[in-house]
Amino acid sequence: MEAWENFKGSKWQKNIDVNDFILSNIEEYLGDEKFLKGISKKTYKVWNKCKKLLSKEAISGVLDVETFIMSGIDNFEVGYIDKSNEVIVGLQTDEPLKRIVNPYGGLRMVKQALDAYGYHLDKELETRFREFRKTHNDGVFDAYTPEIKLARHNHLITGLPDAYGRGRIIGDYRRLALYGADYLIEQKKLDLSKITNINEETIRLREEISEQIKALELIKKMASRYGVDVSKSAVNAREAIQFTYFAYLAAIKQNNGAATSIGRNTAFFDIYIERDIKRGILTEEEAQELIDQFVIKLRLVRHLRTPEYNELFAGDPTWVTESIGGMIDDTHSCVTKTSFRILNSLNNMGPAEEPNLTILWSKNLPENFKKFASSMSIKTHALQFENDDLMRPIYGNDYAISCCVSALALGHQTQFFGARINYPKVLLYALNGGRDEITGDVVIDGIDEIEGEYLNIDDVLKQFDKVLRKTVKIYVDALNIIHYMHDKYAYESSQMAFLDTNPEYLMAFGLAGFSTIVDSFSAIQYGRVRVKRDERGITQSFDAELDFPKYGNNNDNVDLIAVNLAKRVYRELKKYNLYKNAIPTLSILTITSNVVYGKHTGETPDGRKAKMPFAPGANPSHGADKMGALASLSSVAKIPYKDCCLDGVSNTFSISPEALGSEDVRATNLVNLLDGYFKSGGHHLNVNVLNKSLLIDAMNNPSKYPNLTIRVSGYAVNFNSLTREQKEEILARTYHERI
């Protein structure tokens, strides 16, 4: 059978161009979900085995670790869950959920993780590694300046990927399926031959391309262990999915990046699936089976992490983000039957955190798909939504989301991940002569002390600008060092092999504690803030004597402060030359680390007490948004994405099913809510339509659910404003209703 038989288009046949292949062959689907099929017998058996393993893992934290072999594309024996029932094969190691030791990012972190779970690295392996190999972490600390170390130690710059894999790269794994490894190798060799002018930059590039070629050869070997030949193009749907998965599998055998997204595969798979269905060699049940089993594999992705890491990110996330939907142009979407099939995996196997299913939302998406995605979100609260109408003009139609919110043009762009600045600390340093409010260390030099009982906005701004300027410089220096060393000691050849030889690099900077600093500035400007200092002269507490507007109420007086604070950082970032000529991008995103960052931060002028958590991402501060959900959403939607926060503006929105209206209209209401938010310029929305377990979590961690509203007949209240007893009572009721 010809691999490309019946496929249309020619551009993609002459050059590597997966997008052209998709545009030439996609069959948009405008219908509803009624064609979908349930779980197949085989999938049921495979998933049942996984469920048992997963519950065992949940008890011990880690099911098993391979301690005699280190990470690598082809270093492990084959592994299966239930060989005779697996239609998509391949595991990271020889057993499901057995984790890999990857020391290239840093050995110390690996040792800590092993210790925590009672494992020990094989002695000889460790000795030899230590003797012969330097890690990314070693390299970084050889080059770090004293200023960086101090800023890092004081949590001014925090979450830097200097001790483990940086992640955030997305290979265009579809390339392996469409072209086969041999053609990709040929193309890389061609690229290599063209680089003849030798200088430091091209030496590095030649070495990297050679590494990529070796990686492709190793992927062929790894796949052949499973009896699959990936040297040529995939000939049918099963192979297309299998090859794509193998390309991704190589990435997670070799690397342990914090977030390793899978890309945007549904339209690509759909073309193969529909061709097979037309040929009469695949049924709808089998198509669903392929997708479900692909999803199972993504649910089993694991990396070895320390317990501290898990605390920071609330669990053991891998961010296997799959982007679904989006438009091709104003009238045609990328919605296919397979967009429905992948969401249907949540019906067939129940909700799960991974893969991180992300809907690229456009006002022009087919109505049936909008409604289905919304109803699946309500049912599972497992989806997130991002604004395709905002991203598509910037990244083109074939982009995917890396980690949570960061768009990348697939195959043509990649990212240097860069954690974030603890932004409220920048303000506190401005108030304290560059000293850290907790340790008292002078972290930023050359800052004048601000004196007097009341804070004056002009005095504060003068020092703030100086602190920010110096902080950004330290931050940029740190990221340049980190990514130089990561390329040198922990290069992701298996992922870079699926990117253009000269991709565009984005360096992703970030901000944490956003709402806290915005409200703090509002307090200083409008609230007549009186300050108390301790014996060191460092601010200890703040008292706003007047009411001041807070971010999250759709009030321009403070929302413009937010816009300004984001723009100031980006303006500073643009001043620098970055490693590999990367373009700076900025995110307002914390995932769940807002709690830990808050712990290391003293009291702030907005009235937030020392050590209390920040709000997540770009969310308004807990309890500050008093005008209802739309006002809160509207404030966040004002933060500029284009020309400023191109790495993403994250917003987490929680609502109870009851508050979303009666059952028959909930999905429509959510569609209208998403349409409204994205038309207003919002970038990203995490939607939690909460069930009981989430309500319990909300009761114990109120700050995670700032917008949780509940219907109490006649009007709605914020869940957090209720007493413990009332919450328990509502919990009982909600649960009762659901039985």
Partner 1 sequence: MKEYKFGYIHSIETMGLVDGPGIRIVVFMQGCMLRCLFCHNPDTWEKKSNNYMSSKQIVDEIRKYRPYIESGGGVTFSGGEPLMQSEFLLDMLKLCKKSGIHTCLDTSGTAYNKRYLKEILKYTDLVILDIKAITEKKYKKMTGKSMDMFNYFLNELNKSNNKVWIRQVIIPGINDNYEYINKLKEYLKQFKNIEKVELLPYHKMGIEKYRKLNIKYRLNAEEANVDEVKKLEKLFSDNFQI
Query: Per-residue string for binding with partner 1, 546-565, x by CB under 8 A?
Result: --------x-----------
From the list 21-29, 78-86, 250-258, 709-717, the region that binds partner 1 by CB under 8 A is 709-717
Of residues 50, 334, 403, 644, which has the active-site annotation? 403
Nearest-approach distance from CB 672 to partner 1, in angstroms: 5
Contact call for residue 723 and partner 1 (CB under 8 A): yes
Given 187, 310, 501, 680, the residue binding partner 1 (CB under 8 A)? 680
- In this structure, are residues 290 and 273 in contact, taking their beta carbons and an 8 Å threshold? yes
From the list 310-318, 352-360, 596-604, 721-729, the region that binds partner 1 by CB under 8 A is 721-729
Nearest-approach distance from CB 669 to partner 1, in angstroms: 5
> Tokens 């989301």 correspond to what residue?
401
Terminal-residue alpha carbon distance, the chain? 52
Contact call for residue 125 and partner 1 (CB under 8 A): no
Given 69, 235, 352, 630, the residue binding partner 1 (CB under 8 A)? 630
Given 361, 677, 705, 719, the residue binding partner 1 (CB under 8 A)? 677
Nearest-approach distance from CB 668 to partner 1, in angstroms: 7
How does 689-703 read in b/e, with b if 16+ C-beta sit within 10 Å? bbbeebbeebbeebb
Using CB under 8 A as the binding rule, the residues of this chain from 645 to 674 that contact partner 1 are 658-662, 665, 668-669, 672-673
- In this structure, are residues 526 and 625 in contact, taking their beta carbons and an 8 Å threshold? no
Contact call for residue 13 and partner 1 (CB under 8 A): no
Interatomic CA distance for residues 392 and 414, integer angstroms: 16
Asked about 404 being catalytic, the answer comes back as: yes
Under 8 Å CB-to-CB from 81, ≥6 apart: which residues? 46, 49, 50, 91, 96, 296, 300
Contact call for residue 540 and partner 1 (CB under 8 A): no
Interatomic CA distance for residues 625 and 515, integer angstroms: 11
> Tokens 């659901």 correspond to what residue?
738
Contact call for residue 623 and partner 1 (CB under 8 A): no
Given 38, 308, 679, 701, the residue binding partner 1 (CB under 8 A)? 679
Nearest-approach distance from CB 707 to partner 1, in angstroms: 9
From the list 80-88, 147-155, 399-407, 717-725, the region that binds partner 1 by CB under 8 A is 717-725
Strand partners, 505: 414
For partner 1, which is the closer residue by CB, 260 or 387? 387
Q: Give the CA-trace dihedral at 702, 703, 707, 712, to 10 degrees.
A: 10
Helices first, then strands: H and E counts in the chain: 26, 19
- In this structure, are residues 177 and 234 in contact, taking their beta carbons and an 8 Å threshold? yes
Nearest-approach distance from CB 557 to partner 1, in angstroms: 14
Separation of CA 371 from chain center:
25
From the list 13-21, 252-260, 524-532, 627-635, the region that binds partner 1 by CB under 8 A is 627-635
Q: What's the Cα-to-Cα distance from 652 to each of 120, 159, 330, 377, rounded to whole Å?
A: 39, 21, 28, 13
Q: What's the Cα-to-Cα distance from 689 to each of 140, 378, 666, 727, rounded to whole Å?
A: 43, 5, 10, 16
For partner 1, which is the closer residue by CB, 344 or 515? 515
For partner 1, which is the closer residue by CB, 419 or 659? 659
Element (H, E) at 541: strand 539-544
Interatomic CA distance for residues 698 and 706, integer angstroms: 9
**Which residues carry out catalysis?**
403-404
Q: Which residues bind partner 1 (CB under 8 A)?
A: 554, 627-632, 634, 658-662, 665, 668-669, 672-673, 675-677, 679-680, 709, 711-717, 722-723, 726, 733, 736-737
